[in-house]
Amino acid sequence: MWPFKKIRINTRDRREREISFLGITVIQYGHKEANGVKESYLEIFPKSFEHKTLDQIISFLPKNNTYDHVWIVRTVGLGEAQLLNFMMEELTKKWNVKSPCFVSHRAIYKQMFALYSDIPFYRILMKHSEYAPCLTRRDIRYKRKVFHVHHCTIEESKDIVRRWNSGEKSHAIDVYKKWSGIARYSYVQQVVPADVADRALKKIQEVDLNIDRFIFLAPEAQATQEIEGKVWMEIITKARNFGYDIFVNTAKGRSLYGKSVYLGVDEAMYIASRAKKIIALRCGFAELLAAIPNRGDLYILYSHVFGDVSPDSFFQIFSLKKYPFYNSQNTFELSIGENVIFDQLDKLFN
């Protein structure tokens, strides 16, 4: 076998090729689109796509920074990104980390990471499609730094499902641990800063929520098939019959089901911590809800996911029971069908 590799980058905007020999990039060729015009090109001994991408990421860090390890969070899910917090103790030992930081194209992660640690977070003003295809290795040494690519994307979650269906019965949490090369997860408590709590309470005043007796609903998810509105209405009707007020957390801060206002991730964690009960569709946000310390009972509903995975399979592969923050005393996971009609609502709200 010839000691060369060929990297292919296919995105909506460009088609490029890179050929390397003995680890050295020899040729790059393809065509790019600039100002509406596609131009073909060929370069001899250029800087690799990977290093060009890392240079661009470095440009978003403070000048003269002393970070020795940079975690690139390219996941699209809060739950997978959250796991980094529970890996950091082991990763710090493994890599002898002195000065780490996180980077991502999603600003929302800054709020989430701040709930767990004071490790600096920087937003890289790049599209996911601009840098993800170039970073195929998990750990890259470049310019006296180690860049760690935290994969855990939807595509890789789909791969876990495919492996499960083919007979490799590994729970997702075990796969993530194997990918990261750590022996265990370490519990880290989620803490909401006082100023965030104050800000959240001021927002809630706008909708006159009964903060002393309410249920926090989280009915949205990116990958999971949403549950029919009539199911949520049945839940809400029964909850109101038991004297609960309803707060519905949505991405846009609007809901037809109950009181709602836009909350950041950190603000939502505080409001949820004040709820008597939390009911959430299984998604990454539900993982953050499960990690809230001293919260009320949490009910997580498993629906179809990725279009072709049944609720039962989804439950078996991604159940929270193996997660470091799981509390069996106040966490209840329910695998349900599309047209489920709750027949145990009385027990839920007593």
Highest mean pLDDT among 6-15, 26-35, 310-319: 310-319
Work out the burial of residue 291: count CB atoms within 10 Å of its CB; fewer than 13 is exposed, 13-18 middle, 19 or more buried: buried
Return the amino acid letter for 53.
T
Confidence of residue 182 (pLDDT cuts 50, 70, 90): very high
pLDDT in tens, 91-102: 999 999 999 999
- pTM for this structure? 0.83
So where are the chain's domains?
Answer: 1-46, 47-180, 194-349
Strand partners, 297: 277
Going from the C-alpha of 119 to that of each of 75, 144, 212, 300, the distances in angstroms are 18, 19, 34, 30
Please enumerate in sequence order all residues whose Cβ is within 8 A of that of 194, keeping only pairs 6 or more positions apart, or say none. none
Percent of the chain predicted with pLDDT > 90 = 49
Count the alpha carbons within 13 Å of 115 in the hemisphere toward its beta carbon. 28
Going from the C-alpha of 192 to that of each of 79, 116, 118, 218, the distances in angstroms are 17, 9, 12, 19
> Residue 1 pLDDT more than 60?
no
pLDDT score at 2: 42
CATH number of 194-349: 3.40.50.2000
State the Cα–Cα distance between residues 267 and 263, nearest whole angstrom: 6
**DSSP structural state of residue 305:** B
Strand partners, 309: 305
pLDDT in tens, 133-145: 778 788 999 999 9
Helix residue ranges, H only, the chain? 49-58, 78-95, 108-114, 128-131, 154-165, 172-180, 194-205, 229-241, 265-274, 284-290, 311-318, 345-349
* DSSP-derived 3-state class of residue 275: coil
Please enumerate in sequence order all residues whose Cβ is within 8 A of that of 63, keeping only pairs 6 or more positions apart, or say none. none
Task: Please give the average per-residue pLDDT across 208-223, as a whole number.
Answer: 91
pLDDT in tens, 142-174: 999 999 998 767 677 778 888 888 888 889 899
pLDDT score at 91: 96
Strand partners, 281: 301
Taking a C-beta distance cutoff of 8 angstroms, is the pair 200, 274 a contact? Answer: no
Computed over every residue of the chain, the mean pLDDT equals: 84
State the Cα–Cα distance between residues 299 and 280, nearest whole angstrom: 6
> Residue 338 pLDDT more than 50?
no
pLDDT in tens, 44-81: 656 677 888 999 999 999 999 999 999 999 877 788 89
State the Cα–Cα distance between residues 266 and 246, nearest whole angstrom: 19
Cα radius of gyration rounded to whole Å, the chain? 23
Residue for token pair 């100023």: 195
